[in-house]
Structures are given as structure tokens and as C-alpha cells.
Amino acid sequence: MEKHNHDHQKHHHHEHGSETKKSHSSGHQTNNKSDHQHGHHDHHAMMIEDFKKRFWISLVLTVPILALSHMIQQLLGFELTFFGDQYVLFGLSTIVFFYGGWPFLKGLWDELKDKNPGMMTLIAVAITVAYVYSSAVVFGLEGMDFFWELVTLIVIMLLGHWIEMKSVMGASRALELLVQMMPSEAHLVQGDQIKDIKVDELKTEDIILIKANEKIPADGTVVEGESHLDESMLTGESKPVKKSKGDQVIGGSVNGSQSIKVKVSKTGKESYLNKVITLVEEAQKAKSKTQNLANVAARWLTFIAIGAGTITLVAWIILGKPLDFALERMVTVMVISCPHALGLAIPLVVAISTAVSASKGLLIRNRTAFENARKITAMVFDKTGTLTEGKFGVSRYESLTDDIDKEELLAFAASLEQQSEHPIAQGIVKVAKEAGLTLKKVENFESLTAKGIQGKIDGQNWKVVSPGYLKENNINIPEQAGSDAAETIVFVLLEEKLIGFIALSDQIREESPKAIETLREKGMKLYMATGDNEKTAKAVSDKLGLDGYYGEVLPHQKVEIIKKLQKEGHFVAMTGDGVNDAPALAQANVGIAVGSGTDVAAETADIILVNSNPKDIANLVLFGRATYNKMIQNLAWATGYNAIALPLATGFIPGLVISPAIGAVFMSLSTVIVAINAQLLKRKMKS
């Protein structure tokens, strides 16, 4: 859908009516996945509970297992033996292996079924080898059992998975709390009566009363009253937003000091809030390439562990060592090669970055795109509503006669314009009200098709018209009305005599220059593609110092622009409103949808900015880089530990044979370091 074109408007001032407003066609997109998402969410909560239970039971059983293990007794310098102690040790370890280790054994089966061995395979192989070997020792094989190693491995991995799942779930906690914060009752207006009903009984088109300081129970439109709403929890907008008749309100926002009546437009699953929650859940489920990298690393470690274990066994037997020694070395290698840290390296970073990003108004639907934000070399902006406010603001107005001053001129024009829904009209009325001007009563109001509007005020005939009307009626356009800036100009006539003009333009957002500067510092090429006319596009581009601009482009042409940049070797990000820019968002390497309200549900974007703030685009790139760096650091640490521990565990390096006990300490330490490093991301992203 093409954005409105200012040149076009100059000749056809009120032709489009309210069509000229940006389309919000994603507003009617329903969220039929919500029930499924909710089910998924409950399942996730049950899994967390399951891991927690398995962890605590396994931990309790681990204490006597450690006390009965000879290696731990030697390490701590005590002795605890009694008749059949090895069988008690075997029995307790068997419970931990099958009960605590079940998620990993099941995971091994699932991964092998998918022909995609990964983290679960690695853990399952390590615990199975340790269990089978140790059981054989109990029943006659020469050697030392690994039961204590087996159970600590299971306990630490259960703890890791429990923490990981809790933190992943925590990313949507802020949004879930919003759902709980939704009021349970609504005041339904029925004629003169007000009836309190449950929120889930609300239907679209219902009129509801929201009293002072109450929460809005559903998305809708104000039909009566005026108030300031606190939307900060939903959109991140810190200032209360003024809402009056015709304005949209979001369920979950908090009303200010005045009561208002609202017509319900969306309830339940269709509401903005539900869509936001769905997006966050999608973000958590979407596996990025880097996340898969953790699984790829685990797969290779599985092959390396099995390979290294086999080589160790065969080599020691060839070198004439007894079978029990060779087997012990093999098991040590295979158990040590299971890095707890690798299991936590990526998921913790993912969980933290998703949560912090959501709190900053960045909803990540596609993690790969988020991490790839660091690669962006060219950014293409849509203009209206992204770099600019997307609303017509009065830039200047002048009277051309001594009889009426400029303020009076504005008051007369606004009196006429308040009858119109057009964005230009709204811009004029807004500035007149802000100036505290008194608007007058209009009679015989009439819209002049494609030319403007007219009406009688105090018995005199007033018109607000386009330049086209002046040309048709041979009225000269005054010099003062000419401008190089990207302005739309309307003229005020009194009894067919030109007495003044009002210039309007789509104002550049105050955050845009700083955001452009930040992105340029990152070495990006910055372009703008807009449906607006050449003059407007050039004015905005020059003011912001962009590398280039494209004016009067249709949606399919935006796609061509992105393809062209990609052919030139750029990694391209596109920012737009997510609806009329959908084709370009889909084509871009990273698609960023901007715009609060239900536009947030735009399906083609990878990342959604809750506020239409260009500053957030700069944050996105910085966050993406910080997240990726942390992932790489954690992967390097987790795999680096293995690179050192594995050769030592084989026993081939004289004088440097790592005991299973030392191996376990290293492993635990490695996990703690990875977890702490992931937490540091919060500080980096908040700074």
C-alpha cells in the first residue's frame, strides 16, 4: 500500500478523507494460536516442576552415595564401610540413574530418532557408560566405581536444565503478569444503567465505563470523555498518553484521573496484549543458528567422547595395561567429555537477552535475525511513522491581510476543519487548541470534492482550499507560500478573497538524528524509501544526512531496492510499519516492524519495536552484538575446558593424569563461570 503523497494532496486536499491515515490492517489479524500457546505454556511450567522434583530427589539420594564412595572417603579422609555397602550404593545409584537421568535417556532416544544427536545424547552416553561400568565393578569387575561421578553429573545437569527452563520462562514473566493484572470485572453501560460483568463476558461493540485510576479491561475506542492513560507497561512509553473521543485504548493500560467510556473493539485472544505474549513465546521457541551451534558442538563432543574413549581403551590394552585400568581411563574420558557448561552456555544468554529486550520494547520473533543484527551493513527506513511522527503538524501560518491577525486566521480555519476527519484538518485543529484559541460555530458546512471545505461563520463564507482551487479560480499563490521544505500548504479564503495560508509537514521525530548518528558510527549505509513525493523525501534525507533516499516508491519497488543492495554485498535491514512494507520486510535479511498498537502483530517481521522509536533500532544492533559476543564467549569457555580436560583424562600424558574427582570440580566450576558470564549480559544491555 503506497504512503500518501504530499504533492498529490496539494491538489486534492480532502479527497481521501481518513484514508490518508496509515493503514493498520494488521489490526484485524486474529490470534488463533493463543490457546495452543497457553497449552504450550502450561506444559512448559509442568516440565519445570518435573525437573525441579527430579533434581531435589536426586540431590537427597546423592548425599549417601557420596558418603559410601571410596574415592570421596579417600579425598575427605574418612571411612564408612559395612556389610553390603556396595549393594546399597548400587541400589541408590540405580534409582538416581533411572529417575534423575530419565529426561536425558528419553532425550537421547528423541535425538537419535531425528538423526540429530546433540546435548541429550552427550549426557545420556556419559551417564550410561558410568552406570554400566560401575555396576560391573560391583558385581566382580576389577576397578573403582563411578557412582558418585554418575549422580553428581545427573544432579548438575538437572539443575542446569531447571535453571535454563526457568530463565527462558522468565522472559515472558513481565507480560504474563500483565495478564494477571487485567481487571477481572468491567462496568458495562446499558442505557442509563451500569452493570458489573466479568471481563470474559465482554463482546465487541459493548460500551464500558472506566473510572478514574482503573485498568482498561479490553482494547477499544474512546466514545466519551477525555483522560491521560498510563501505557508504560505495554508500550514502554513513560509519559501518560492523552486519550479523547475517537482515540484507541489498549487493554491493560491504566486510566488517569477522569472517567471515560470506551467501545470495545477487541477482546481476549485478539487483544494487543495476547499478541505480544504470543510473540514473546515464539521468540523463546525459535532456535537460532547460534543456539544450534551448541547442539552441533555437543554432537561433535559425543563423537569425540566415544572415539577418544574407544582409542583410550584400545591403546592401554595394546600397551599391556590390565583391562580394569583401561576401562577406568575410558570411562573417565567419556564422563569428563560431557560439559555441563555447554548445556548452559547458550540458553542462559538467550533467556537473558530475550527478557531484557522485551523490557526495552524489543520483541524478538526470530533469534537468528536478532543475533545477525551485528552483521547489518545497510539499513533502509520507511519514512512515515518511523523517522517522522507520521502526523501532520502545523509548521507555520500567516495572515495576508491587516484586518485579521494570524491567530484569528488559525481560529477560523480550525473552526471549519474540526468538522473534517482528514489528517491535515486534525493537525490544524490540534495546534489551535494547544494555542488556547476559541473555535467558532460553523453553519452550512460542506466538503468541496478534492478541493477543500467551506462553511459560514458569523454569516460570512469561509473556505480552506488546496492550491488546485486557487489555480482553477485564477487566484495568484503568494510568494510567502512557496517553500523548499517538504510542506503541504492550504489556503484560507473569506468571501472568495485570499486572506492567509497554513503550512503543514510531517515532523521529523526528535530521536531520529541521534539514532542515525549511532548507526552511522557502526559503519552502516543508511537509506530511506518512502511513498511520499521526491521533495518531501529529499528534505527529510538532507536534514538527517542519509546516504540516499527513494521517493514515490510502491511496495514492490521497495523490495527491488533491498534486492539491489543485497546484490551489492550488503547485509540489509528494513524498518517499516510491518503491514504495507510487508514484502520488503520479508525480503530483508533482518525485518524490523515498528509501531505500537495491534501493528505489533505484523507477521513478516523478525523483530518488533513496541514503540515507533528509531533509537530502539540503534539499541537492537547494540543488543544483538552484545548477545552474540556473550554466546561465543560461553561456547569458547565450555569447549575450551573440554579441550584441556580430555587429553588429561586419557592418562597418556605422563605425570598429568586427571582424576575423576578433579574432573568433576573443573566441570562444576566451568558451569558456574558460564552462568555468571551470562548474567553480565544484563549489565551490558542496560548500560
| Half-sphere exposure in the Cβ direction for 668 (13 Å, CA) | 13
**484 Cβ contact list (under 8 Å, min separation 6):** 539
Sheet of 362-364, strand order: 362-364, 607-609, 590-594, 572-576, 378-382, 525-529, 548-550
Buried b (16+ CB within 10 A) or exposed e, 463-475: bbbbbebbeeeeb
Compute φ and ψ for 611, nearest 5 degrees: -100, 145
**Alpha carbon distance 383, 230 (integer Å):** 27
Largest CA distance in the chain: 116
| Half-sphere exposure in the Cβ direction for 158 (13 Å, CA) | 29
Q: What is the dihedral of CA 441, 447, 448, 453, to 10 degrees?
A: 40
**179 Cβ contact list (under 8 Å, min separation 6):** 252, 273, 274, 277
**Alpha carbon distance 204, 389 (integer Å):** 30
| Half-sphere exposure in the Cβ direction for 243 (13 Å, CA) | 31
Closest CA to 636 of 677, 602, 607: 677
Compute φ and ψ for 218, nearest 5 degrees: -160, 160
The DSSP secondary-structure symbol of 495 reads: T
Bridge partners of 455, per DSSP, are 462
SS (H, E, C) 451-484: CEEEEEECCEEEEEECHHHHHHCCCCCCHHHCCC
How does DSSP assign 382-425, residue by residue?
Answer: EIIIIIEEEEEEEEEEEESSSSS-HHHHHHHHHHHHTT--SHHH
Reading the block at residue 21, the C-alpha cell is 491515515
The residues annotated with a catalytic role in the active site are 382
The Cα angle at residue 181 between residues 175 and 182, in degrees rounded to 5 = 100
SS (H, E, C) 193-220: EEEEEEHHHCCCCCEEEECCCCECCCEE
Q: Determine the residue type at 617.
A: I
Locate the DSSP E strands across 485-600: 488-494, 497-508, 525-529, 548-550, 572-576, 590-594
Helix (H, G, I), strand (E, B) or coil at 255: coil
Kindly state the helix (H) or strand (E) to which residue 248 belongs, with its residue range.
strand 248-249
Work out the number of other CB atoms within 10 angstroms of the CB of residue 239.
9
**Alpha carbon distance 25, 604 (integer Å):** 13
Contact 612, 596 (CB under 8 A): yes
